[in-house]
Amino acid sequence: MIYGYCRVSTKHQNLQRQIDALVKYGINQRFIFTDKYTGKTLDREGLNELLNILKPGDTLVVKEIDRLGRNRKETKELIISLIKKEIELVCLDMPYLKEFIIDKIRENGGFLEIMANALLDVILEVAEQERKKIVGRTSEGRKRAIQDGRKFGRKAKISLNKFKEYYEKFLKREIKAIEIQRELGISKQCYYNYITLLKKGNTDEI
């Protein structure tokens, strides 16, 4: 079975570029697992679900190797773990990774295995530094855009007054919180953000 994994490390990035690359490779979108901006560890919902599904002989495809972990150490540990579990790893941006590195680590080649491990360290270090540069450039670009008066963020889905109508029904036990979220098309976090604004007497939209 072939699976895909995508991750973005900041809330301002979009998963679609990675998803499109995996779909083009031939992976059914139902078997592509994703994670958006989370904490600083490898403990991610999408990744954990995928790791519980993967079996020996399966193939995991990523667009960029550093999407597997938040840093070089985590990424290497996961790659080694996948190798031990006999799961094939394909990186679209590094087609040589499997043949020249992963397969050599899998073999008991002594010197070759040591060289492959060392080369993997170098590749992951380069990927990590490149990712930091991209994040830095993105941050600088956003700061310049804000200084120029550009605004970021999603457009408000509903007005606070609209939410208030539903929330008053909730207080009267006429509707449940989950039903409000579903009918208004808002997330759980957004739901609580609206409540906070109501309590503060704010009349602006989120």
> In this predicted model, what pLDDT tens digit does every residue of 84-129 receive, in sequence order?
888 888 888 877 666 656 666 666 654 445 555 665 676 666 666 6
Q: What is the DSSP string of 142-187?
A: HHHHHHTT---SPPPSS-HHHHHHHHHHHHTTSS-HHHHHHHHT--
Q: Is 9 part of the annotated catalytic residue set?
A: yes
Q: Return d(Cα 201, Cα 179) in angstroms, integer.
A: 24
Catalytic residue among 9, 81, 139, 187: 9
Question: Which residue type sits at 103?
Answer: D
Q: Return d(Cα 47, Cα 97) in angstroms, integer.
A: 21
> CA of 131: how far to CAs of 124, 126, 137, in Å?
10, 9, 10
Domain covering 2-142, topology: Rossmann fold (3.40.50)
Where along the chain do its domains lie?
Answer: 2-142, 160-200
Q: What percent of the chain has pLDDT above 90?
A: 18
Mean pLDDT within 167-181: 89
Q: What is the pLDDT of residues 23-55, one digit of tens each?
A: 999 999 999 999 886 545 545 788 999 999 999
pTM exceeds cut of 0.85: no
